Structure 1
Amino acid sequence: MDPAADASGRVLSADGTPIAWERHGQGPPLVVVDPIMMDRTTSGLAGVAELLAEGHTVYTYDRRGKGESGDGEEYTPESEVDDLLAVVQAAGGSADLLGTSSGAILALRAASESAVVSSVIAVEPPLSQEGAAGPDIRPQLEALIDAEDRAGAVRLFQESIGVPEELIEQSEPSPFEPAAHTISYDLTLMLETDIQSLTGIHVPVLVLASSGSDARLQGWARETAEILPEGSFQLLEGSWHGLDDAVLAEAVNDFLE
């Protein structure tokens, strides 16, 4: 990797919100879209981004309300798509996208709404033709945030999406507490994304699932791949709702070759 290629900066989204980004590596541009609560300092995709930077110009960024990015007065999924497209513009005007969980939904929405997305790798997007992939806990979350119980909000979300109890007990909520108020953003994104609205995506999409995930998560991934005109599905060795960095990087590189 050429250190001279590394850079960071901010780009303004359509509503004027500043979005912080970083660039590493050299090669075709690839934008990484983090899942719920994560920013560049807490990202579960940091390791795979580093591996992918060996052959791609990898852009990572803080989604609105997180890290060094700003926030708007009112959240809408459309504003998040605008944020991502602004980063793509900073990447040169077109890019491949890698997103996981709610970040995968955001990447897919961007591909459905703009021609600047070249392809998408979506890791276990929680989408289903049967409707919402989980309960609407936004009122409870708002009450916890108002009560300044951010750890409680993180735990509530983990429980609501079926994180195994042993993983909840092993996890420490404090790294994610600063972004706890944005949990409702991702829930809005999930609840307001109709899987049928993605059938207009006409770029290649690879949908990935982990062998360690439950049948529900794997089923949602398969369902998403099947409904997309150029969708394909792969089940990879991994843990619950997670893939090893090297395994994911290999799948991404093979797909983008």
Structure 2
Amino acid sequence: MQTTQSADGTEIAYERRGDGRPLVLLHGGMAPRAYWEPVVPHFEGFAAVIPQRPGFGTCLDDPAETSADDVLAREAEYVRAIVDDLDREPVLLGHSFGALTAIESATDAAVEAVVAYEPAVLPDGFRAGADLADEMATLIERGERRKAVKRYVETVLHPDGIDDLDGWLAEWPVWPDCVDLAEEVVRMNRAVERYRLPDRLDVDAPTLVLTGTAGPDFLRESARNVHGALPNSRLVEFDGVGHSGPAEAPALVAAEVRAFMQRSE
């Protein structure tokens, strides 16, 4: 692991694999760094840069003290610190909350391009009734941490329902370790519920926004909304791919990223 520091002196750790154009991989809410293991082999020719996300390990001494209002700003700051530490401008590839973080970071970080898979932005109509953070917090207060995390999985990954959630979770690589992240996910969801997409996102870098037809409808809508708010954006929708697109269909995602980068050169 390599380390650098953010502007406030927080130590930030990241792993770098391979040589070539730096590709910073930013995972979403319930996925640790291991989320990218099936993805990295498909990006031959890139140097994969995999951060240890604040609150998900070693970056913060006490992540519990970080408020929901500070979460997105904190995460964008650590991405900018990593960008500054690299030897050339990177491509940012983010999934879900990581995609929103990538976009926010690119507003004032020098990056070559941004790839955002279903950014965690709630459409206005959906956000008005969003209460996942409160639901999870209530369950955690009752000591039902696993149930809280299951509620997140049901809402974000399987919004149309699933016949055997426990069976699916048993095959999910990050279960049950992700239960330890429950409080962090509550803070993340509060940040998402409070975030309002501006009419225009101040991102100069070319941006590829990705979505899939098998994921939640509200996230497909948000992907289109984010695409519309970006000045230099391309939108691609994958047929039959869900919200976990980068890990679910890494070859497909990598091929689209490569094609996008060739068009942008």
**TM-score bucket (shorter structure):** 0.7 to 0.9
On the 8 A contact 2:123/2:218 being kept in 1, the answer is no
Alignment of 1:50-89 (within 5 A): 50-52=41-43, 54-70=44-60, 71-72=62-63, 73-75=65-67, 76=70, 77-89=72-84
**Structure 1 counterpart of 2:20, one-letter code:** G
RMSD of Structure 2 on Structure 1 (CA): 2.3
For 2:126 and 2:198, how far apart are their aligned partners in 1? Answer: 13
Structure 1 residue corresponding to 2:39, chosen from 48, 54, 59: 48
Tell me the equivalent position of 1:211.
213
Of 118-127 and 171-180, more deviation after overlay is shown by 171-180
1:126 aligns with 2:120: yes
On the 8 A contact 1:32/1:49 being kept in 2, the answer is no
On the 8 A contact 1:48/1:245 being kept in 2, the answer is yes
For 1:188 and 1:88, how far apart are their aligned partners in 2? Answer: 26
Structure 2 residue corresponding to 1:14, chosen from 7, 19, 25: 7
Cα deviation digits, residues 122-142 of structure 1 (max 9, x gap): 111132552664613323323
Cα deviation digits, residues 102-146 of structure 1 (max 9, x gap): 11111111112x131221101111325526646133233234334
Alignment of 1:76-115 (within 5 A): 76=70, 77-92=72-87, 94-112=89-107, 114-115=108-109
- Unpaired stretches in structure 2, ≥5 consecutive residues: none
Deviation at 1:59, TM superposition (A): 0.3
Structure 2 residue corresponding to 1:24, chosen from 17, 26, 36: 17
On the 8 A contact 1:37/1:66 being kept in 2, the answer is no
For 1:167 and 1:117, how far apart are their aligned partners in 2? Answer: 42
Tell me the equivalent position of 2:257.
252
For 1:142 and 1:214, how far apart are their aligned partners in 2? Answer: 22
- Unpaired stretches in structure 1, ≥5 consecutive residues: 1-7
Deviation at 1:250, TM superposition (A): 0.7
For 1:147 and 1:223, how far apart are their aligned partners in 2? Answer: 37
On the 8 A contact 2:122/2:218 being kept in 1, the answer is no
Of 82-91 and 138-147, more deviation after overlay is shown by 138-147
SS at match of 1:117: coil
CA distance 1:198–1:20, change in 2 (3 Å):
farther
SS at match of 1:232: strand
**Structure 1 counterpart of 2:49, one-letter code:** Y
Alignment of 1:185-224 (within 5 A): 185-196=187-198, 198-224=200-226
SS at match of 2:121: coil
For 1:61 and 1:197, how far apart are their aligned partners in 2? Answer: 30
What is the count of residue pairs matched by the alignment?
Answer: 246
On the 8 A contact 1:19/1:69 being kept in 2, the answer is yes
Of 150-159 and 227-236, more deviation after overlay is shown by 150-159
Deviation at 1:56, TM superposition (A): 1.0
Of 75-84 and 85-94, more deviation after overlay is shown by 85-94
For 1:65 and 1:216, how far apart are their aligned partners in 2? Answer: 26
CA distance 1:166–1:88, change in 2 (3 Å):
farther
SS at match of 1:248: helix
TM-score (norm 2): 0.83
On the 8 A contact 1:36/1:186 being kept in 2, the answer is yes
Tell me the equivalent position of 1:168.
165
Deviation at 1:194, TM superposition (A): 2.1
Deviation at 1:147, TM superposition (A): 4.2
For 1:11 and 1:188, how far apart are their aligned partners in 2? Answer: 28
On the 8 A contact 2:113/2:207 being kept in 1, the answer is yes
SS at match of 2:91: strand
